[in-house]
Amino acid sequence: MRVNVHYMLRSNGTGNFTEEGDQGSGDVSGGPGQVWAEAPVANDAASDGYSFAKGMLWAAIIQSGSNPPMDLPVGNTTPNPPKKIDYVLNGVYFHRDGSQYAYDPVNYNTPPAGTLATTQFNTYGINKGSEVNIFIMAQNDAVPNRFDSRGNEIRGYTFTSGGASGFGYSANNIWLKMGNLWRLHLYQRAHNNGVDQTTAWGAGAMFNHEIGHLLGLYHPYDINQCADTPGVQAGNNLMISGGSQMALTPCQIGIMQNELSTRYQGYATCGCRPVNSFFTLAAKCYTPGQPWLTMDARGTWSDNGTSASYTIQPVDINNQPVPGSTPTTTSCNALGRFDMVAPHVRLRVTLTVSNGCNTHSSTKYVDSECITAPGARTTRPSHYSVYPNPTIEQFTVTTDAAPTALPEVHDAQGILVAVAQTSSSQEGALWRTTYRLVSARPGLYSVAMGKGSARTVVRLVIQ
């Protein structure tokens, strides 16, 4: 089954995993007087949203590939055939939208925060007729004496929950939500010397459980569909809530496979696994004397025979090919690396992956202007991002130093556009400065920060 992972963040880009890390413990208080993490942890760049999504899907794949015998009733001889369900990660998305950020596991259907509210899927769902969309949300702050529909107390940041759009197929309405994973991740890091080795594994189990609902399975203690499933005493069955149960009975597997082979044909692929080339390509300053960039092809799942190549084309500030330049293509592996032989250039980088039965390409743009000669120094901020993107007329720039000048904004024709600063504030080690275009029209713009070897350009789309 093809899967997209979406992270819901606050409008200022906080409150969940991001493209660049897990944001540390700057936002783990559980409400007035409550601090669940108990100890601060620094931002972990290795625990970004891409890495967590991949770890969660790998955990789901590993657990789906195992089907232990049922442990109830005692001494049972129920067969445990393979489940034959696998996943491929198609994409990871980050949405800075404070109006849809909250998550409430008690008021199930109340939009937009309710577990089963369709708001996020309606707004941000991708390829709704062929891919499962997962929304990883941040849970509302803990409130004492709150309980879910079965009387379980909601225990602040150590409580996670999920929900599926329904039981069985529903045309163009296939999605699930998972809440509180980011805060549980920080909680685990705070209590385990900065390391979290459990949250992704538990999220994989929750994901498989919710997929079970999408493929027609109920909780055995609510509705027992199968004679070979022990009802209320479901033991280690996948479809009970909580924990990392993995067992499914032949009847349950039959229901899921029937859904896959009849009504979910557009969401699944058999035989040749699809390849996906989405990747990250950081435009940051690199160690002098090592002027290369690294492609991390996070979404590329390689089988035997899979090949990958990247094509580099010099482009101008409007992402048009530089006159007289020619593209170059080089083969690479999933973790590709290529040399940046000259500073002050902007490149279009396209990664293409093929496994003999299908091919997929994706493109990103990068500036090499922060690359300098050995021993030289640059004043470019190491952290620089623009969001939301696309936007309407106002955007925010995040840097690790206070801004000293307005950014240069050019339209698609290269004409300089007037910009006004509306606010600037320091949040921890970062500065967030909001600007607006004095006369904004829909189209493609470029936002340039810094000068000389410290100059970096980011594309901005005005809707």
For 1, the token pair is 């089954």
Q: How far is CA 138 from CA 113, 116, 162, 250, 339, in A?
A: 10, 14, 11, 36, 39
State the pTM of this model. Answer: 0.62
Contacting residues for 220 by C-beta, under 8 A, at least 6 apart: 226, 229, 230, 231, 232, 234, 237, 239, 240
Could you give all domains of the chain from N- to C-terminal order, each with its CATH number?
Answer: 2-267 (3.40.390), 280-367 (2.60.40.10), 384-462 (2.60.40)
DSSP 289: T
- For residue range 253-290, list pLDDT tens digits in order: 989 988 888 888 888 766 555 566 656 554 444 444 44
pLDDT beyond 50 at 28: no
Of residues 36 and 192, more confidently modeled: 192
Give yes or no for a contact between 16 and 7, defined as CB atoms under 8 angstroms apart.
yes
- For residue range 94-122, list pLDDT tens digits in order: 998 888 998 877 777 888 888 889 999 99
Of residues 367 and 185, more confidently modeled: 185
Q: How far is CA 159 from CA 36, 363, 378, in A?
A: 11, 38, 45
CA dihedral over 312, 315, 320, 323, signed as positive or negative = negative
Q: Is 135 helix (H, G, I), strand (E, B) or coil?
A: strand
pLDDT beyond 60 at 160: yes
